[in-house]
Chain A
Amino acid sequence: MTQLMVDAQGVRKSFGSNEVLKGINLTVSPGQVLCLLGPSGSGKSTFLRCINHLETINGGRLYVDGALMGFREKGDVLHEMKPSAIAKQRSEIGMVFQKFNLFPHLTAIENVLEAPLGIKKQDKASAVARAKELLASVGLKDKENHYPSQLSGGQQQRVAIARALAMEPKLMLFDEPTSALDPELVGDVLDVMRKLAKSGMTMIVVTHEIGFAREVADRVVFMDDGLVVEDGTPAEVIDNPQNPRTQVFIRSVL
């Protein structure tokens, strides 16, 4: 049996008295593309942020590639990791944000190079070559020296994808990557993600793009009110949902 890429066991997360995740059980195998659907407030973005420890979980266990995220386990007790160890774990997981969060004071290629050069201490010449390759692969060969403010939303998001890929992650997390885009720019970003999925990257995508989920996802998970409600292939969850809450949601977005 191969090592699971993500293994969430009863993951709980509260903000104050508000319990957002109420025990999430979910596994993702290497190479799988999983789309997370659900109404807003269902906890899907929070769950995604728990995976790379941007949020600290309050209960359960969350393993990425066999390693517990953010903690060391000794018997029944969890010990918080040092920030440098958490940073190391995060560097192996790429994340793409709804609002791109490109570094505005750096050009496109500088955005891509910052972490490989500064964190991984890669050789400059090969890192630059790799960055140019990545920017070309997201269709931005001629925008290397543009600042984010000179790029459209769709172009910025593609730079953000290239920036995350530059760290050679084993897992990519997408947090509503097309929600902040003008409709005509969504396609370019989805094309890049489609290509990435075909290349065998393990991906977890929080999205409202049902069409993309149906076409690209190996698995679709529907979340509501902090719980996984339905989990299956796109054909099962999108085209023939069993749970009434899934049925209502799918009808409302289609």
Chain B
Amino acid sequence: MAKKQQNHDIVVVPLRHPWRWVSAAVIILLLGAFIYSLWASPNINHEIIAQFLWNGKVIQAAGLTVFLTVISMFIGAVLAILLAIMKLSSNPVLRVVATGYIGFFRGTPLLLQVVFWGYLGIIYPTIDVGIPFTNIVWFSEKTSVVFTSILAGIIALSLNEAAYAAEIVRAGILSVDGGQTEAAKSLGMGSAYTLRRIVLPQAMRVIIPPMGNEFISMLKNTSLLQVVAVMELYARTSQISSQNLAQVELLVVAGFWYLVMTTILSYPQSYLEKKFGRGFNPADAKKRWLGIGSKGNV
């Protein structure tokens, strides 16, 4: 009697759902057949896949991909906050410039932008540091020396990212109730302090999920840098396959590592979502109050 806590006074025969079982069986069957066809195909050499999966050059290229992603994302996010503030500013020039920037970088293909930065040396053959409109030059160097393909790639990716992320940040800032800013003002807080301590921490809750999307897009978009000869993961595997003609096998290798990286990079997102969600979900907050992850008083 002690085990039975609920007293059901009606007997229910659950409704049967035969089509659920049928549809599940069909899907599993089709999926299994597809995987088997790949596995059994005489045209895919599994040994080559195994051989290159842990190849040092491939791993190194995957490392470069992560580096490009993280640094471009970081620069992009910083620029995005700046652009979002400009777009929300009461200064019409800042507003128009930010809107124009976002329009331009969202309105042209990323591939085109990557190639453009790669060709920068054609527009500016040398990079000079001096006083404009005089003959005084302190430093002059060929663009191709200073402006390496990796630098061109990072600039292309981060400037493009800034345009997308700026709208995400702006949406986040707008999502914070106006009463928050008023309360902050009434306590004597200035606008920069209010943005940093009151508005942005709350906006982050709205900003992080789409930024996670951006992060994953960025990781995959680094593959476009192949066209300016940056030896990231995709460029490296396609270079190898052009020598051994095992195109499909090396696509599998590249795909595997992209999947591994996107999966790993998804973890910081859920951590950040929890961190900036504090106070907004009463149940979560209670856990902290009870001492789990608590930092003590203040």
Contacts and interface: CB of A to CB of B under 8 A. Distances in A.
* A and B pair up: yes
Interface of A: 52, 54, 83-84, 87-88, 90-95, 97, 99, 101-107, 109-110, 113-115, 118-119, 128, 144-150, 160, 163-164, 167
A101 B187 contact: no
A97 B297 contact: no
Contacts of B182: 54, 97, 101
Interface residues of B, number: 29
Nearest to A111: B183
A145 B198 CA distance: 18
Nearest to A148: B279
Contact of A83 (B179, B191, B197, B198): B191
A50 to B, nearest CB: 13
Given A109-B298, A128-B298, A146-B289, A101 B179 contact: yes
Interface of B: 177, 179-180, 182-191, 193, 197-198, 201-202, 276, 278-282, 285-286, 289, 297-298
Contacts of B191: 83
Contacts of B186: 52, 54, 90, 93-95, 97, 164
B179 A115 contact: no
B279 A114 contact: no
A54 B185 CA distance: 8
Judged by DSSP, the binding face of B is helix
Nearest to B201: A105
A97 B185 CA distance: 12
Contacts of A167: 187-188
B180 A101 contact: yes
A110 B278 CA distance: 13
3 A-B pairs with the lowest CB-CB distances in the bound complex, closest first = A91-B188, A101-B183, A147-B279
B157 to A, nearest CB: 31
A119 B180 CA distance: 16
Contacts of B282: 147, 149-150
19 contacts: A52-B186, A54-B186, A87-B190, A90-B186, A90-B187, A91-B188, A101-B177, A101-B179, A106-B279, A114-B197, A115-B188, A119-B189, A144-B297, A145-B297, A147-B279, A148-B279, A150-B285, A150-B289, A163-B187
Given A87-B190, A119-B189, A149 B183 contact: no
A128 B190 CA distance: 22
